[in-house]
Amino acid sequence: IDSPNASLHYLVYLTTVFALYDMLTQELSQVHLPLIIDDPFVMMDEDAIAEFTEILHRWAGPRQIIVFTHNSNIKKMYTVTEI
């Protein structure tokens, strides 16, 4: 790919965040860190959001995940605490 678009850059960013989180939790197994993600749905259409939220749900397992978003459709998919 000569010049990746913004969506691909964002996907690489999210993948890196998940990998770093896994690495930290392995190295610091006695510390339970939450994963905080700021608006991961910005570059996604509805199909991508549905797929990403399913992957996130499966990946979450025992992990605490905090997602900040302006996307009001997320309220329909998850238990939401508004701040």
Question: pTM above 0.85?
Answer: no
Residue range 17-29, pLDDT digits in tens: 889 988 998 898 8
29-35 long-range contacts (CB < 8 A, ≥24 apart) are 32/64, 34/63, 34/64, 34/65, 34/66, 35/63, 35/64, 35/65, 35/66
Residue range 39-56, pLDDT digits in tens: 888 888 888 888 888 888
Average pLDDT score over the chain: 82
Residue 80 banded pLDDT, cuts 50, 70, 90: low
